[in-house]
Each structure stands twice: as structure tokens, then as C-alpha cells.
Amino acid sequence: MSPVCDTELVKEAFRPARDHVETLIHQLHGDAADEMQHDQAEALIKKDGYEVMRLLVQGFLVVRARREKRMESIEGSDGVVRTQCRADCERDLMTEFGEVVVRRKGYAAKGTGSLFPLDAALNLPEDKYSSELCLW
């Protein structure tokens, strides 16, 4: 991927987080903020801050998915070589900031389950809940 394309990818992937920060800043200095008490501002920042963090995790996952290279084949621990590749396979991941979607390539062979190399590269858990969330 060329540096220009990669820069555009990163801009687009993190645009929702940037937009959300800008909206929050506007709420904190706009006309309504003149009537806001500190605890209201703190609650707003906490709520929207978690959404910003969720959007940052989602942006990170979008970048990783778009950079994932297609492989000719992948061999599972079962010894079966999988050559059929499907792009944009999705799974949900619940993080401590909220739910995100992981898109990645899946490799399959007739009669076997699919393998997702990006899941391994990201060290994703088998279930829906992130490792950080499970520490709670």
C-alpha cells in the first residue's frame, strides 16, 4: 500500500472518532455550555469519552483489516490446507468501551471450519469479550 493510500485509509478509519471529539468540544463551549454545571460537563465528557475510545478501537480494527494481505492458502492445526478466501467476514467484539466489529479474511476448505489469520494476529478471544473486559 502506498503512503498516500495508507494516509487516506487512516484518515477515513479514524474520521468518526475525530468527528465525535469535535462535536464534544462544540458542546463544551457552545451556548448551552454557559448554563452547564461542572458535574454535567463531567458526565458529558465521561459518556462521550467512552464513545470516542470505542470509535478509536473501531478505527484501529478498520486499518488492520484493510492492511491484511490475502494469502494463497493457510494450513490449520488439523493439517487441512484452506484455499478459499472470503473477504469482509465479520464478528462482534465487546470491549470495555462498547461493541466494535472486526472485519477480516476467512479461509475455508470443503468440510472444515474457517480460519481467520487476523484473529490470531490480534490475539482475539474465541468468544465475544475482549481480554481487557475479562480482567474486570
Can you give the residue ranges of every domain in the chain? 3-67, 74-134
Return phi, psi of residue 37, to 5°. Answer: -90, 165
DSSP 129: B
Grade residue 3 by pLDDT with cuts at 50, 70 and 90. low
Per-residue pLDDT tens digits for 59-84 = 999 999 999 999 999 999 999 999 99
Sign of CA dihedral 109, 111, 116, 120: negative
Residue 116 and residue 104 in contact, taking contact as beta carbons nearer than 8 Å: yes
Separation of alpha carbons 122 and 12, rounded Å: 21
- In this prediction the pTM is 0.89
